[in-house]
């Protein structure tokens, strides 16, 4: 546990140092930039709640990727599942108008079903035809992207808008603000808690984890590996779909052009940083959300382009993973040396 | 007749970037690296090609810079995956993200625009007219007048095949993937073969990226590779890396790419025609999976 924290912190520090170097060589002031970044993402109630709200899709897609990777299926389809969830929630919000207490859960369920539909398609292709979900989900991402682009440009287009987008969804489907905090954050916390419980405490989650570690062992132990594969695909698709639904319901309240592009690979990236741990995904997700949120404010006062956030994120992934694996090696070496010397003492 | 010629030339230009990226990827595939960074290498190359051609007023320098851009990613890949032993899948994904992020950033930083950069000052890679051949009816307009990089891609296919299957280097390359321990014990360092294969991959992906931004069109757009690197990965897997197989598959994808554009002129909306190559990839995967299954059944 301490190992994890030490190597994680070390990775973040090194990555930020690399980022500082990159900025320094372009003539920016790294410390002022980082200070602005922190100020606009964590300094005060409003920045903090914005960061948390922006963390919702990041953490949910991150959970999706983390659970998938830890259980075996290489589900890289979060971007496609997210836009399908968003599309399903938008459709519901456009054509169904119930009181908020019913509308909000309904739209969430629709989003979940939308995401699960798209990941289930990839799962089915794997089950029925042995088509590797790795490339299938990637291709389905592109197809989902073009499909939703078509939907918002033709059948559901809002003719009053300047760029392709749907009309706004029924107001009863908007995620309400609780003071400064958007209620989608509460949904996120609930989702993390439920997934942690399922994954760490339930039999199903245990079977998924075992299958991810050693599929043959799981099968010989009596797990229905094929059924678990499908279950994991559906659950992870549902999480990404929920992320899309919450983006629509909490933010622009409609499906706008390029909605998915912002979160495209972020979830996968966060899961990789978190080494597929669920709690770690939550932490790194909020961290990345802070960088993204802070970057917009930072641009205003330091004239460093906000796109630096994307560069920083990629550096973070590489450095955190490399540090973790390298640190594990070092820790092992130190432990081995200590063991060897204590054995020597005993012999003497 | 003209429609047919248009379809075939469309097929060739759609196939070229995928073919080049897949040839690069197949060298790393034979060397036993799970390399998924082609997408990022191409994107970097596409950016640096435009940068070089715009700033230095020469497409030759544009090409060189493109290869250099892809090379940066290859060097990072080597540092992390070969030197530090980081997981290749993770490194590849992070590098693709890095390419996307840094080209978007540099687009804003250098050209002060968001989304797309285009300018009259960008020199595109010329088309080559072959003197006698362009007189042949029907074949002439297909074989002649294509972009220089298209011809380079054809040469690259033969070069790759020769390199992998007919040279000592190729034997060692395949050994690095097939059985790295025996290669190491025969006195050739596997890691060195892998490093060379990644650098060669960067050269091919550099050409592929340059073709996108200086041949296919003359501009740089954010994320302009649009999954072509992933399609090239699918192409490699589908034919187990054989260069000639890759050429065939690339032409097939190019055909669907061109078909999409063709359907667009018949009033099918562009969103659906853009899906065609990805659906074709799914179709190809289906055929591959079925063939694999039958092969396994025959073995039993």
What pLDDT score does B166 carry? 93
Flag whether pLDDT at A262 surpasses 70: no
- What tens digit of pLDDT does each residue of A271-291 get? 999 989 999 999 999 999 999
Mean pLDDT of A295-302: 84
Q: Which residues of B touch A125 (CB under 8 A)?
A: 282, 286
> How close does chain A come to B145, measured CA to CA in Å?
32
CB < 8 Å to B290, chain A: 129-130
Interchain proximity B109–A321, CB inside 8 Å: no
Please say whether the beta carbons of B205 and B96 come within 8 A: no
Contacts of B85 in chain A (CB under 8 A): 325
Say if B233 falls within a structural domain: no
* CA distance to partner chain B, nearest, from residue A288 (Å): 14
- pLDDT, one tens digit per residue, over A38-53 is 989 888 898 999 999 9
Answer yes or no: do A305 and B227 touch at CB < 8 A.
no
pLDDT for residue A82: 95
Chain B: give the shortest CA distance to residue A50, in Å: 22
* Band of residue A190 on the pLDDT scale cut at 50, 70, 90: very high
Task: Write the CA distances from B63 to B67, B219, B287, integer angstroms.
Answer: 6, 14, 36
Of B15, B13, B14, B34, residue with least CA distance to B201: B34
User: Residue B157: which domain range?
Assistant: 15-225
Q: Which residues of B touch A (CB under 8 A)?
A: 76, 80, 84-87, 90-91, 93-98, 100-102, 104-105, 107-109, 226-227, 230, 233-234, 237, 269, 271-272, 274-275, 278-279, 281-282, 285-286, 289-290, 292-293
Chain B residue with minimum CA distance to A127? B289
pLDDT band of residue A193 (cuts 50, 70, 90) is very high
Query: How many CA within 13 A on the CB side of residue A292?
Result: 23
How far B286 CA sits from the closest chain A CA (Å)? 6
**pLDDT tens per residue, range A97-144:** 889 899 999 999 999 999 999 999 999 999 999 888 888 998 999 899
Among the partner-chain residues B87, B104, B234, the one whose CB lies closest to the CB of A310 is B104
Judge whether B144 lies within some domain.
yes
Nearest-Cα residue of chain B relative to residue A307: B105
> Which residues of chain A are at the B interface, by a Cβ-Cβ cutoff of 8 Å?
26, 125, 129-132, 135-136, 138-143, 146-147, 149-150, 153-154, 265, 268-269, 272, 305, 307-315, 317-318, 321-322, 325-326
What integer pLDDT is reported at residue A85 of this predicted model? 95
Report if residue B192 sits inside a domain. Answer: yes
CA distance A164 to chain B (A): 13
CA dist B255 to A242, B151, B214, B283, B285, Å?
37, 18, 21, 14, 17
Q: Which pLDDT does position B269 carry in this prediction?
A: 84
Mean pLDDT, all residues of chain A = 89
Provide the pLDDT for residue B4.
Answer: 84
Give the E-state strand segments of A93-229 in sequence order.
177-178, 181-182
Q: What share of chain A is helix, strand, coil (3-state, %, to 5)?
A: 80, 0, 20
Q: Which residues of B touch A141 (CB under 8 A)?
A: 227
Q: Identify the closest residue of chain A to B233 by CA–CA distance.
A: A135
Phi/psi of residue B205, nearest 5 degrees: -65, -30
Q: Please indicate, yes or no, if residue B264 is contained in any of the structural domains.
A: no
Instruction: Estimate to the nearest angstrom the gap between the alpha carbon of A87 and the chain centroid.
Output: 18
Q: Give alpha helix (H) positions in A154-303.
A: 184-201, 203-213, 215-220, 225-250, 266-273, 278-302
List of chain B residues whose C-beta atoms are within 8 Å of the C-beta of residue A147: 271, 275
Predicted pLDDT of residue A257? 83
| B140 to chain A, closest Cα gap in Å | 36
Quick one: average pLDDT of A226-230?
91
Say if the Cβ atoms of A314 and B80 lie within 8 Å.
Answer: no
* Cβ-based contacts of A142 with chain B (< 8 Å): 226-227, 275, 278
Residue A264 confidence (pLDDT): 62
Which residue in chain A has the smallest CA separation from B107?
A: A307
In a domain, B178, yes or no: yes
Q: Give the residue from B35, B38, B44, B101 with the most A CB atoms within 10 Å of its CB, the best one to mutate.
A: B101
Tens of pLDDT along chain B (300 residues) come to 678 888 888 899 899 999 999 999 999 999 999 899 999 999 999 999 999 999 998 899 999 999 999 999 999 999 988 888 888 888 898 899 889 888 988 998 888 888 889 888 888 888 888 887 777 877 777 788 788 899 999 999 999 999 999 999 999 999 998 888 888 888 888 899 999 999 999 999 999 999 999 988 889 998 898 889 988 998 998 888 899 999 999 999 899 888 887 888 888 888 888 888 889 889 988 988 888 888 888 876
Mutate: best of B72, B93, B97, partner A, most A CBs <10 A: B97
Residue B220 sits at φ, ψ, to 5 deg, of -120, 130
- Within 8 A of B271 by CB-CB distance, chain A residues are 146-147, 149-150, 153
Distance from the Cα of A346 to chain B's closest Cα (Å) equals 35
- Determine, yes or no, domain membership for B213: yes
Which site among A14, A26, A129, A261 would you substitute to test the B interface, given the most B Cβ atoms closer than 10 Å to its Cβ? A129
Residue A323, number of CB atoms within 10 A of its CB: 22
Among all residues of chain B, which has the CA nearest to that of A304?
Answer: B109
Consecutive H or E run containing B127 = strand B127-128
What is the domain count for chain B? 1
Which two three-digit tokens encode residue A152?
């918002």
Residues in CB range of B32: below 8 A, 6 or more apart? B176, B177, B178, B180, B190, B194
């Amino acid at each position: 546990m301490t190992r994890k924290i030490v190597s994680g912190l070390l990775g973040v520090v090194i990555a930020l140092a690399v980022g500082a170097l990159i900025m320094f060589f372009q003539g920016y002031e790294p410390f002022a930039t980082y200070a602005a970044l922190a100020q606009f993402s964590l300094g005060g109630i409003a920045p903090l709640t914005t960061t948390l709200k922006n963390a919702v899709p990041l953490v949910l897609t991150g959970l999706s990727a983390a659970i998938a990777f830890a259980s075996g299926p290489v589900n890289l389809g979060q971007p496609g599942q997210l836009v399908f969830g968003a599309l399903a929630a938008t459709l519901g919000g456009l054509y169904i108008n119930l009181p908020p207490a019913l509308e909000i859960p309904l739209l969430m369920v629709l989003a979940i079903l939308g995401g699960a539909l798209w990941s289930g398609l990839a799962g089915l292709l794997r089950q029925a035809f042995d088509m590797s979900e790795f490339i299938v989900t990637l291709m389905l991402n592109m197809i989902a992207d073009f499909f939703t682009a078509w939907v918002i440009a033709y059948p559901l287009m809002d003719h009053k808008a300047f760029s392709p987008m749907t009309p706004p969804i029924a107001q009863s489907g908007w995620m309400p603000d609780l003071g400064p905090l958007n209620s989608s954050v509460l949904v996120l916390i609930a989702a993390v808690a439920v997934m942690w419980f399922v994954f760490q405490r339930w039999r199903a989650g245990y079977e998924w984890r075992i299958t991810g570690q050693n599929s043959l062992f799981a099968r010989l132990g009596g797990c229905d590996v094929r059924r678990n594969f499908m279950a994991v695909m559906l659950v992870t698709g549902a999480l990404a779909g929920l992320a899309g639904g919450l983006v629509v319901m909490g933010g622009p309240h409609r499906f706008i052009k390029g909605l998915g592009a912002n979160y495209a690979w972020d979830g996968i990236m966060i899961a990789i940083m978190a080494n597929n741990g669920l709690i770690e995904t939550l932490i790194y997700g909020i961290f990345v959300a802070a960088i993204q949120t802070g970057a917009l404010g930072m641009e205003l006062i330091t004239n460093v382009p906000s796109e630096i956030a994307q560069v920083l994120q990629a550096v973070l992934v590489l450095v955190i993973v490399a540090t973790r694996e390298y640190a594990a090696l070092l820790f092992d070496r130190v432990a081995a040396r200590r063991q060897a010397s204590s054995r020597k003492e005993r012999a003497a | 007749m003209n429609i047919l010629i248009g379809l075939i030339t469309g097929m060739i230009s759609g196939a070229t970037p995928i073919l080049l990226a897949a040839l690069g990827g197949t060298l790393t595939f034979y060397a036993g690296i799970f390399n998924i960074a082609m997408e990022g290498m191409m994107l970097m190359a596409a950016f640096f090609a435009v940068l070089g051609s715009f700033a230095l007023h020469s497409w030759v320098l544009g090409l060189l810079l493109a290869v250099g851009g892809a090379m940066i990613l290859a060097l990072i890949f080597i540092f992390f995956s070969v030197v530090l032993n980081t997981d290749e899948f993770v490194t590849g994904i992070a590098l693709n993200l890095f390419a996307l992020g840094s080209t978007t950033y540099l687009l804003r930083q250098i050209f002060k625009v968001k989304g797309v950069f285009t300018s009259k000052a960008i020199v595109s890679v010329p088309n080559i007219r072959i003197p006698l051949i362009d007189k042949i009816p029907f074949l002439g307009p297909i074989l002649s007048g294509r972009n220089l990089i298209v011809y380079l891609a054809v040469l690259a296919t033969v070069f790759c095949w020769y390199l992998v299957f007919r040279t000592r280097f190729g034997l060692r390359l395949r050994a690095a993937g097939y059985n790295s321990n025996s290669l190491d014990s025969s006195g050739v360092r596997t890691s060195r073969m892998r490093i060379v294969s990644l650098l060669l991959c960067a050269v091919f992906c550099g050409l592929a990226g340059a073709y996108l931004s200086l041949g296919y069109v003359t501009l740089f757009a954010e994320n302009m590779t649009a999954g072509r690197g992933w399609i090239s990965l699918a192409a490699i897997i589908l034919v187990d890396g054989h260069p000639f197989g890759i050429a065939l598959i690339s032409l097939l994808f190019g055909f669907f790419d061109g078909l999409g554009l063709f359907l667009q002129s018949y009033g099918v909306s562009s969103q659906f025609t853009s899906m065609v190559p990805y659906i074709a990839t799914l179709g190809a995967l289906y055929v591959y999976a079925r063939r694999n299954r039958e092969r396994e059944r025959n073995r039993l």
